[in-house]
């Protein structure tokens, strides 16, 4: 299986994402969804495309959306799009599109805002997808992306390296972490701004850590010996921190405006 097939299999439905979501829900002190919603500033009548919408948990959590927002959902997973649309029946969903984001099946200048949250590190070429986003935005429209900071959850990456020899975060950072994201956004959008979400998890239970690392790459393909190394590494880290591991959770939202 190549990386594209791996990503498609991982996100066939929301079950693996839900394990990560459970970890964050348990230990976060500041709601990421609320934090993002408070910074979207959506105007009335906005035509918004969400690229890589996933199961729609973010939109479901929103409480201040303009009533006349026209929301287009796009994801490469048919089950994700169906799940999102099923969850968001209270919103005006005008498109439900199942396709690879590398080619957006919309005419030029169709949207006021395009979001791509925590997904551009998965695509074959983030530059191509950003060009597509630029094309479908109206002049003056906004592209909003989110991704993990290089300072995000360093203990999770360290545990993955110790147990499995590598960490998915290294690939995330190389493909579309904050540094790369800022560079690619500045190459094609004006008024690029970065806003940083910072939380500090106090992780006092090894089980959610083990569950998360064993359901995301590379732990999702680990053999019994690898999983045993993971359990030991997590237990050792818990003991070294007297039972509570402080983990910085740091994510970035970067937005830019399409020039006229
Ligand atoms: C980490 S989830 C993020 C979901 C949602 N945006 C959020 O922030 O909660 C990544 C999503 O991107 C989708 N995705 C990955 N590669 C894609 C591609 N090439 N084209 C379209 N969607 C893709 C996955 O199917 C998955 O639903």
Which 3 state secondary structure label does DSSP give 154?
helix
Tokens standing for residue 225: 């010996």
Are 249 and 181 in contact by the 8 Å Cβ rule? The answer is: no
Query: What's the whole-number mean pLDDT along residues 142-155?
Result: 98
Q: Which atom of ligand 1 is nearest to the CA of 8?
A: 25
Edge-first strand listing for the sheet containing 190-203: 93-98, 70-75, 47-51, 111-117, 137-148, 245-257, 190-203
Q: Which residue's CA lies nearest to atom 4 of ligand 1? A: 54
Say how far apart CA 82 and CA 124 lie, in whole Å.
23
* Ligand 1, atom nearest to 54 Cα: 27
Domain ranges of the chain: 3-154+166-202+248-257
- Residue 258 is given by DSSP the state -
Q: Is the pLDDT of residue 112 over 90?
A: yes
**Residue count (the chain):** 260
Residue 260: pLDDT band (50, 70, 90) is confident
User: Candidates 75, 132, 152, 216: which one to mutate for ligand 1, based on the most atoms within 8 Å of Cβ?
Assistant: 75
Return phi, psi of residue 79, to 5°: -70, -35
Please choose from 87, 119, 175, 254 the residue to mutate so as to test ligand 1's pocket, defined by most ligand atoms within 8 A of CB. 119
User: Which residues on adjacent β-strands are paired with residue 194?
Assistant: 254
Going by pLDDT thresholds of 50, 70 and 90, the confidence category of residue 24 is very high
Least confident of 3-17, 20-34, 172-186: 3-17
The whole-model pTM stands at 0.96
Section 110-116 average pLDDT: 98
Radius of gyration of the chain (CA): 19
Give whole-number Cα distances, 249 to 146, 200, 224, in Å.
14, 6, 29
| Residue (of 39, 20, 4, 26) closest to 214 by Cα position | 20
Alpha-carbon torsion angle 82, 83, 86, 88, nearest 10: -110
Ligand 1 neighbours (beta carbon < 6 A): 7, 11, 17, 52-54, 57-58, 75-77, 80, 100-101, 117-119, 122-123
Fold of 3-154+166-202+248-257: Rossmann fold (3.40.50)
Write down the pLDDT at residue 1: 54
Supply the DSSP string of 46-63, one letter for each residue. -EEEEET-TTSHHHHH-S
Distance 51 CA to ligand 1 centre (A): 7
Residue with tokens 């993955």: 160
Q: What is the mean pLDDT of the chain?
A: 97
Mean pLDDT of 120-149: 98
What is the mean pLDDT of the segment spanning 38-67?
A: 97
Q: Around Cβ 221, how many Cβ atoms within 10 Å?
A: 11
C-alpha 75/C-alpha 252 separation (Å) is: 21
3-class SS at 93? Answer: strand
Distance, CA 235 to ligand 1 centroid (Å)? 32
What average pLDDT does this structure show over 126-135?
98
Judged against a pLDDT cut of 90, whether residue 6 lies above it is answered with: no
How far apart CA 225 and CA 185 sit, in angstroms, is 42
Q: CA-CA distance, 219 to 144, in Å (whole number)?
A: 30
233, 163 contact by CB (below 8 A): yes
């Amino acid at each position: 299986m190549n990386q594209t097939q791996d990503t498609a299999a991982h996100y066939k439905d929301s079950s693996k994402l839900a394990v990560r979501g459970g970890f964050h829900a348990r230990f976060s002190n500041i709601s990421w969804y609320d934090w993002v919603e408070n910074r979207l500033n959506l105007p009335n009548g906005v035509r918004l495309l969400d690229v890589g919408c996933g199961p729609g948990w973010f939109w479901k959590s929103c409480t201040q959306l303009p009533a006349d927002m026209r929301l287009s959902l796009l994801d490469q997973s048919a089950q994700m799009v169906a799940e999102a649309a099923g969850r968001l029946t209270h919103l005006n969903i005008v498109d439900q599109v199942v396709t690879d984001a590398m080619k957006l099946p919309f005419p030029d200048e169709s949207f006021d805002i395009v979001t791509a949250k925590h997904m551009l590190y998965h695509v074959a070429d983030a530059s191509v997808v950003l060009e597509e986003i630029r094309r479908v935005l109206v002049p003056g429209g906004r592209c909003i992306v989110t991704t993990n900071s290089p300072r995000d959850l360093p203990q999770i990456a360290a545990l993955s390296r110790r147990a499995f020899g590598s960490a998915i975060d290294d690939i995330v950072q190389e493909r579309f972490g904050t540094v790369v994201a800022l560079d690619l956004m500045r190459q094609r959008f004006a008024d690029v701004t970065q806003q940083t979400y910072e939380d500090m998890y106090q992780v006092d239970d090894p089980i959610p850590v083990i569950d998360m690392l064993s359901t995301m790459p590379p732990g999702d393909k680990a053999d019994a010996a690898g999983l045993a190394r993971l359990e030991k590494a997590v237990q050792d880290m818990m003991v070294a921190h007297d039972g509570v591991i402080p983990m910085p959770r740091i994510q970035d939202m970067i937005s830019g405006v399409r020039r006229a």
